[in-house]
Amino acid sequence: MADTRIYNTLSRSLETVSPRSEAGRELSLYTCGPTVYAYAHIGNFRAYVFEDLLQRHLRDRGFGVRRVMNLTDVDDKTIRGAHASGIALADYTKPFKDAFFEDSKTLRLLPAEIYPEATDPAHIQRMIAMIVTLMERGHAYRAEDGSVYFRISSYPAYGKLAHVDLEGQRQGARVASDEYDKEAVADFALWKGWVPEDGAVGWESPWGKGRPGWHIECSAMATGLLGETIDIHCGGVDNIFPHHEAEIAQCECAGTGHAPFVRYWMHCAHLMVEGSKMAKSAGNFFTLRDLLMQGWTGREVRYALLAVHYRASLNFTIEGLGAARTALGRLDAWHDRLKEAAGEANNGTECVAQPDAATEEFFTALDDDLNISGALAVLFETLRESNRRMDQGTLTAPQARGLRDWLHRVNGILALEPEASHEAPPTEVAKLVEERAAARAAKDWKKSDEIRDQIAALGWIIKDTKDGQRVTKG
Rounded CA gap, 45 and 248, in Å?
24
32 makes contact with Zn ion (CB under 5 A): yes
Rounded CA gap, 248 and 246, in Å?
5
Closest distance to Zn ion from the beta carbon of 218 (Å): 3
Closest distance to Zn ion from the beta carbon of 226 (Å): 13
Could you count the other beta carbons within 10 Å of the beta carbon of residue 129? Answer: 13
Rounded CA gap, 364 and 354, in Å?
17
Residue 374 CA to its chain's centroid (Å):
21
Stretch that binds Zn ion, among 25-33, 113-121, 320-328, 395-403 (CB under 5 A): 25-33
Nearest to 150 by CA among 191, 181, 192, 188: 188
65 makes contact with Zn ion (CB under 5 A): no
Q: Which is nearer to Zn ion, 233 or 440 (CB)?
A: 233
Q: Which is nearer to Zn ion, 207 or 265 (CB)?
A: 265
Sites for Zn ion among residues 352-411 (CB under 5 A): none
Closest distance to Zn ion from the beta carbon of 213 (Å): 11
Cα–Cα distances in Å, from 471 out to 420, 447, 459? 9, 17, 10
Residue 265, burial from CB neighbour count under 10 angstroms (0-12, 13-18, 19+): buried
Closest distance to Zn ion from the beta carbon of 198 (Å): 21
Closest distance to Zn ion from the beta carbon of 128 (Å): 18
How many residues at the interface with Zn ion, by CB under 5 A?
2
Cβ 211 vs Cβ 203: under 8 Å: yes
Q: Which is nearer to Zn ion, 231 or 405 (CB)?
A: 231
Cβ 145 vs Cβ 209: under 8 Å: no
Closest distance to Zn ion from the beta carbon of 472 (Å): 33
Closest distance to Zn ion from the beta carbon of 32 (Å): 3
Sites for Zn ion among residues 179-218 (CB under 5 A): 218
Nearest to 212 by CA among 200, 196, 201, 223: 201
Q: Which is nearer to Zn ion, 160 or 447 (CB)?
A: 160
Q: Which is nearer to Zn ion, 233 or 339 (CB)?
A: 233
266 makes contact with Zn ion (CB under 5 A): no
Residue 89 CA to its chain's centroid (Å):
25
Q: Which is nearer to Zn ion, 113 or 449 (CB)?
A: 113
Contacting positions for Zn ion (CB under 5 A): 32, 218
